[in-house]
Amino acid sequence: MVPPPPSAPNADAAIERRYRLACEQYAEWGVDAARAVERLGTVAVSLHCWQGDDVRGFEGHAGEIGGGLAVTGAFPGRARNADELRADLELALSLIPGRHRVNLHASYAEYGGRRVDRDAIGAEGFARWIDWAAGRGMGLDFNPTFFAHPRAADGLTLSHPDPAIRRFWIDHGRACRRIGAAFGAALGTPCVTNIWIPDGMKDTPIDRKTPRERLRESLDALRAEAIDPRANLDAVEGKLFGIGSESYVVGSQEFYLGYALSRGTLLCLDTGHYHPTETVSDKLSAVLGYLDRILLHVSRGIRWDSDHVVTLTDDLVAIAQELVRGDLLGRVHLGLDFFDASINRTAAWVVGTRALLKALLTAFLEPVSLLRDAEARGDFTARLAWLEEAKGLPHGAIWDHWCLRQGAPTGMAWLEPVRRHERDVLAARS
């Protein structure tokens, strides 16, 4: 017998009942569950537009993304234009509890078929995105696009030896900061404009130093214009390696840590951009000991920077716990960064965002005083034992109740609208 879906008519009453019981249980552990969901409600996650169309954007090229980025899968119904992408995002947002943001790439400008090169784009290309976000009371974040372009074909952009190519990308970056500032001014919440470049080398370079000097100069030139931080905040994102940049990445972790520290920008930590045995959860308190703010690109690398859909893994919970235990959430901008074309793309957003929110809820519900106490006493046996026992607390009951309160689907009830959209909308796109 298949049980009725959790969206059955009497489910709401059951959710209320389970919530009350769960609250009692948490209270026994010294945790105020109502307060935990209140805190969760203040968290905004930036949904990356590029999950909806396999990082293609609207510039009309055949689909070669470049930059070492790889999207695999051929699920039907990729968004082909901005209206479709917004419709898919709206569906995803309606299935995710809380109030969130959307993160755009420069390649998603709308110029109605008119070709405007990257160094010449402006906020006018995003007028409809801005109106859309304003209508939903939502913030936007932004990214210059340093790939999928003939001038990035060498695998070098801001660090390219040719000054004309560097100039082009510097101008692109400048244009993007202004667009970010326009987002922030129009929407009343600062836009985080994140710079990631693909620059690097497949094989062993002789000169690792000069490209980094060029990158530093290019970044300084790109950022020369003073922009109100209430409108736009710059972030820089490094990585360990990419496809085609296995031996050398110009913008490495150390490079950007130094850059962010010396220039006062945000540092972006992408969870897929480290050696698989490294954990981003351990890096947060380290970098935030020196930097005011950071950006997180929450992703899931399997064996490499594979950008799988985020799920509720131990790594993700560890990040959430660090953010909550250290009271760091006010200084950390949360963005998602994954792309999977092998499953329903809207479902990917819903699963990934809900997973991140669940991780945060778990962290808000942690019996942290008990654990801190054990640690302070040097009782690491009790610390380990309590940590294990806490994994069995009824997070799901609190989660479902929060979804209900937020008017978002509880349990698996989000899947049916996604399936309907698949049948009614996506099927007609192919």
CB of 77 to Zn ion, least distance (A): 24
Catalytic residue among 100, 160, 239, 395: 239
239 is catalytic: yes
Minimum Å gap between C-beta 215 and ligand RNT is 16
Q: How far is CA 45 from the centre of its chain?
A: 7
Annotation says 199 is catalytic: no
CA geometry: angle at 23 spanning 18 and 26, to 5°?
125
Amino acid sitting at position 143: N
Q: Which positions lie near ligand RNT, rule CB under 6 A?
A: 50, 55, 69, 143, 196, 237, 239, 270, 297, 337
CB of 297 vs Zn ion, minimal distance in Å? 4
The one segment of 23-31, 47-55, 174-182, 293-301 that binds Zn ion by CB under 5 A: 293-301
31 vs 47 by CB, closer to ligand RNT: 47
* % helix, strand, coil for the chain, step of 5: 45, 10, 40
Catalytic annotation present for 141: no
40 binds, among Zn ion, ligand RNT, none (CB under 5 to 8 A by kind): none
In the residue annotation, 213 being an active-site residue is answered as no
143 binds, among ligand RNT, Zn ion, none (CB under 5 to 8 A by kind): ligand RNT
What is the sign, positive or negative, of the torsion defined by CA atoms of 109, 115, 120, 124? negative
Q: Please tell me the distance from the alpha carbon of residue 369 to that of residue 247, in angstroms, as a whole number.
A: 45
Quick check: 335 and 296 in contact, CB under 8 A? Answer: yes
Q: Should residue 297 be labelled a site residue for Zn ion when binding is judged by CB under 5 A?
A: yes
Query: At 335, phi and psi to the nearest 5?
Result: -130, 155
By CB under 5 A, name the one of 307, 315, 337, 340 that touches Zn ion. 337
Least distance between ligand RNT and beta carbon 149 (Å): 13
Cβ neighbors of 170 (< 8 A, separation 6 or more) are 158, 218, 221, 222
d(CA 117, CA 120): 6
Residue whose CB is less far from Zn ion, 141 or 337: 337
Q: Determine, following the binding rule CB under 5 A, whether residue 305 of this chain makes contact with Zn ion.
A: no
- Residue 151 sits in the site that holds Zn ion (CB under 5 A): no
Q: Which residue reads 């326009």 in tokens?
A: 182
Check the CA dihedral 133-134-136-139 and report its sign: positive
| C-beta closer to ligand RNT: residue 33 or 236 | 236
- Which residues of the shown chain bind Zn ion in the complex (CB under 5 A)? 270, 297, 337
Q: Which residues are catalytic, by number?
A: 196, 237, 239, 270, 273, 297, 305, 307, 337
